[in-house]
Amino acid sequence: MFLIVGLGNPEEKYAKTFHNLGFLAAADCAELLHAKFKKKECEASVAETNYKGEKLVIARPTTYMNASGRAVKQLLAKYKLGPKELVVIYDDYDLPKGHVRVRPSGSAGTHNGMRSIIAETGLTDFARIRIGIRAPESEIPLIDYVLSDIRKEDYDLFSAATHRAAEAALAIAAGENFDVVMTKYNG
């Protein structure tokens, strides 16, 4: 069994913001597998399916970004999963826009959602997929930038990035060699 969590904010007004790229990537995962977000549990919207002979849960926390750890902790407990069965997808200001970076573990960096997950679960050794959002021309303060809408001219770039992130998450869930996944999807 495996858990993929895409981070974001649940209100419609945040749907097209940078901070919701994790939600969009989770939706891409579900779409690739013809799964639907039908359940609400553990403070998350959940899609369940089978993938490569194993149960796969795709979740989007409904706790808002800064409290994402509550939902992740509850989901891990409910499904009796450890860090090796978890991948988290989220936006990252530290990467150039549209870049995808897959890592087997790490710190929270500047991301409050990841800080929440690490604080709530006490874990750092879980896979994460970061989608870069930094635009060199932006002079907006970080808190305002991550909650701003993605510009229309960047939709295709970020759509491709969330799709790549979804494919990478599914490769990890399928048990593909992590170094191979990083080589294939990073960049």
Global model pTM greater than 0.75: yes
CATH code that applies to domain 2-185: 3.40.50.1470
The predicted-structure confidence for 113-141, as pLDDT tens digits, reads as follows 999 999 999 999 999 999 999 877 767 77
158, two tokens: 């970020």
Q: What is the pLDDT of residue 101?
A: 97
* Cβ(122)–Cβ(108) below 8 Å: no
Q: What is the pLDDT of residue 138?
A: 66
To the query of whether residue 19 is one of the catalytic residues in this protein, the response is: yes
Q: Where are the domains of the chain?
A: 2-185
134, two tokens: 């930094």
Give the type of residue at 163.
H
DSSP 8-state code for residue 139: -
Q: What is the pLDDT of residue 72?
A: 98
Dihedral sign computed on CA atoms, order 128, 133, 139, 144: negative
CA 183 to chain centre: 19
Active-site residue identified among 19, 99, 111, 163: 19
Length of the chain in terms of residues written: 187
Classify residue 2 as exposed, middle or buried by CB count within 10 Å of its CB (0-12, 13-18, 19+): buried
Closest by Cα among 86, 91, 73, 83 to 134: 91
Q: What is the pLDDT of residue 42?
A: 97
Closest by Cα among 2, 8, 1, 75 to 39: 75
What phi and psi, each to the nearest 5 degrees, are found at residue 9? -120, 140
Q: What is the pLDDT of residue 153?
A: 93
What are the pLDDT tens digits along the chain (187 aa)?
A: 999 999 999 999 999 988 999 999 999 999 999 999 999 999 999 999 999 999 999 999 999 999 999 999 999 999 999 999 999 999 999 899 999 999 999 988 889 999 999 999 999 999 999 999 987 776 777 778 788 888 899 999 999 999 999 999 999 999 999 999 999 999 7
